[in-house]
Chain A
Amino acid sequence: MLNSLASAAWRYRYFILASIQGDFRSRVARSRLGFLWIILVPLAQVAIYAFILSALMTQRLPGIDNRFAYSLYLLAGFSGWFLFLEVINRCVTIFLDNAEALKKIAFPRIVLPIIVVGSSVINNLVFFGLVVLAYVLLGHDPLPAIAWYPLLTLITAAGAAGLGLSLGVLNVFMRDVGQIVGIALQFGFWMTPIVYMVDILPESVRPILMLNPMYWVLDSYHRTFLYGLPPQPLALLGLSVLAVGLLALALMLFRRASAEMVDVL
């Protein structure tokens, strides 16, 4: 089964590449600033948090000797969170967005998530390029971040794709799922240490936060980007297993639902 999926994806490799390109193009198709928006939108968000919250987060990060420690922290966290967010959001609506094509052309559907994940990763790569640039400008060593970025991206994207596609299948039949995901992601953002440090929270709350897998994803980004340390091995293992499990769940749901999916699109 995995074999046939892989061979279908391989046969469509040119199409996948062309579509990722086209995806990029369509995002910039009808706007003046085009490509700039891909960078400006996430940067604006980071800048807002940097301005507003830097007053609250005056304490220096332990072990980091840099005036811009909080900005460095934000950039590391958002590198992971933006990837997670984009993959989830696009996977949840993937079948609805492509309804017309699904109804009219018979093609291996596996290419759709590959295109979505591929183009999300490219967008994230652009953002990461800016992070590296900022680190250099702010006087922080970007090499550990560069070294660990590929592995962290792989695990984050795989987990997000597994979760997003499972929800995407359900969203075809119950459109409420898409709305619920939007709200859940808002909660998720504040339940994950992205704009705040864990140590500002009371000790009693921290174990609850640790139940959130995204806590460990963000922890890995912080450890590598900021401190130059490897991620915690147990966290890495757990996240990998979770990602594979979510992908398997998505595949199972998709296979069972695909016969009825086009009927309700």
Chain B
Amino acid sequence: MTAPVLTVSGVGKAFRRYKREMHRILSLCGISMAPSEERWVLRDINFAVEPGQAVGIVGRNGAGKSTLLKLITGTMRQTTGTIAVNGRISAILELGMGFNMEFTGRQNAFQAAGMMGFNQSEIEGVIAEIEDFAELGDYFEQPIRVYSSGMQVRLAFAVATAFRPEVLIVDEALSVGDAYFQYKCFDRIRSFRKQGTTLILVSHDKAALQSICDRAILLEAGKVAKDGSPEEVLDYYNALIAAKEGEEIETIAHPSGRVQTISGDRRARIESVALYDSNGTAVETVAVGKPVELRVTARAHADLEKLVLGFALKDRLGQTMFGTNTFFADQSIDDVTEGETFSFGFRFDANLGPGNYSVSLALSGGESHLVDNYEWRDLAMIFTVVNLGEPFDGKTYIPTTVDVVRGADKAIST
């Protein structure tokens, strides 16, 4: 175990409001005045990050994510606790680096890198690379005020990553760029991580978090609500967004070592779930491309206007491979009475790449679980897909016919 590159211990942040600003100024002069209001946006945050780790911070708007990043970066000061950083931090906060609108891209690159503490000759050594990475063309010599927001972010990212930092902090910035630029950024982040850079990322993009982070921290109302694998934390977060007051979110340690999250108001519950092959035998291992049936039984625990069952197949990282529900299939059940039971069958071909997959199930009152969430059950079951046919690459199986003919002038007969 290596020494952590970042240690956050007991950190809290309060924004103080005074009845009159005069009171604040008196308190600056040493005359103690009690603030009329202290709003704690972060309280008792504790975590340590090891070199090379990639941590995603998730949470609702106002949960304190951006404030936490500002405290770690050092632009804001915490009210309580300590933050110890072992190395240089580079940060892209709120989509920019405080660029001067009148300066050109080149001048701003010099200015921002200078503020980060690099001297003229060091910056001259990387300016060509910055220009190259940001791909601004002629715009590099034009004032920032004519840039689009995407162009500003490209420049900010290029400057922030011109020198490899020990800790790279990215707040939402990547969601502004186009797909091509995101790909480039992730590529650079990956190569930094190989060299030992720690990444701290705030994003609402689940797919990005799951593909790049090996750890996630969920902030809820200024506290750490969950700290663990991205799959576990995002499942919990997903349950949290839908949870209404008084609802309980269960987290159960699954035999596989992963964590199962169950949420909802329990007005309807899953009773059983199993996967069957074409012979009607319950299976946990299926061959690529073979027909299977997912059978689910459920019971209503209240009178319901409408009942919809949805399922999603997720890969090892928690990324959804496919999902649908009875609403989309035009088979939602209306006017359900308490105590009624239901059987559902979803028949499909297991067109998945070899590996482990999990099934998430959701009983709801409509097409989305955000309205009436009766029960949401992640890791309802796990099954394995094995490849018994010819080898292929990827996470989905697309049956392909291959034709090869010698000579470019010969037509391929169909």
Residues of A at the B interface (CB closer than 8 Å) are: 11-12, 14-15, 18-19, 22, 25-26, 29-30, 98, 100-107, 169-170, 173-174, 253, 256-260, 262-263
Contact = CB atoms under 8 A, between A and B. Distances in A.
A92 to B, nearest CB: 15
Nearest to B120: A14
Interface centre among B28, B102, B111, B119 (most CB of A within 10 A): B28
27 contacts: A14-B119, A15-B117, A15-B119, A26-B102, A26-B103, A29-B102, A30-B102, A100-B96, A100-B98, A100-B99, A103-B93, A104-B91, A104-B96, A105-B97, A105-B115, A106-B74, A106-B75, A107-B115, A107-B116, A107-B117, A170-B25, A174-B22, A256-B28, A256-B30, A259-B79, A262-B70, A263-B76
Interface of B: 15-16, 21-22, 24-25, 28-30, 70, 73-77, 79, 89, 91, 93-94, 96-100, 102-103, 107, 110-112, 114-117, 119-120, 143
Interface centre among B22, B74, B119, B143 (most CB of A within 10 A): B119
Nearest to A174: B21
Nearest to A258: B77
Contact of B107 (A22, A169, A174): A22
A173 B110 CA distance: 31
Contacts of B16: 260, 263
B25 A102 contact: no
A19 B103 CA distance: 12
A173 B25 contact: yes
A110 B94 CA distance: 24
A159 B99 CA distance: 31
A2 B110 CA distance: 28
B117 A11 contact: yes
Contacts of B79: 259
Given A14-B120, A104-B91, A106-B89, A253 B28 contact: yes
Given A18-B110, A26-B103, A262-B75, A257 B117 contact: no
B115 A15 contact: yes
B197 to A, nearest CB: 17
B24 A173 contact: yes
Nearest to A14: B119
A22 B103 contact: yes
A11 B119 CA distance: 9
Contacts of B116: 105, 107
A260 B112 contact: no
Contacts of B76: 262-263
B274 to A, nearest CB: 53
A106 B98 CA distance: 11
B74 A104 contact: no
A170 B21 CA distance: 9
Nearest to B16: A260
Q: 8 closest pairs, A vs B, by CB?
A: A106-B74, A101-B98, A15-B114, A100-B98, A259-B77, A14-B119, A104-B98, A107-B115
Contacts of B117: 11-12, 15, 107
B77 to A, nearest CB: 4
Contacts of B97: 104-105
